[in-house]
Amino acid sequence: MSMQKDKINKIEEKEAKILLKKEQKEKERLAKVKERLEKKNEKNERKETDIQSVINHFFFSKGFTLDEIKENSKKRRIIYSRFTRPAKELIELAGSCDKAKEAITIVAEWAKSRKLDYSIETVFKKWLELDKLKPKEVVKKPYFMNQLMVWSQVKKKWFVIDDGGEWLEFAGKESQIVWKIETEKEEEDKMKPKYY
Domain spans of the chain, in order of start: 1-46, 50-129, 140-191
Contacts of 120 (CB under 8 A, 6+ apart): 54, 55, 58, 83, 86, 87, 90, 104
Higher pLDDT, 119 or 195: 119
With 50 as the cut, is the pLDDT of residue 124 above it?
yes
**pLDDT for the residue 71:** 85
Which segments of 45-152 does DSSP mark as H helices, in order? 50-61, 66-74, 84-94, 97-113, 120-125
pLDDT value, residue 196: 41
- Region 58-62: mean pLDDT is 91
For the cut 80, the answer to whether the pLDDT of residue 11 exceeds it is no
pLDDT at 145 over 90: no
Name the band, by pLDDT with cuts 50, 70 and 90, for residue 99.
very high
Answer yes or no: is pLDDT of 147 > 90. Answer: no
Residue 191 clears pLDDT 60, i.e. is over it: no
Average pLDDT in the chain = 81
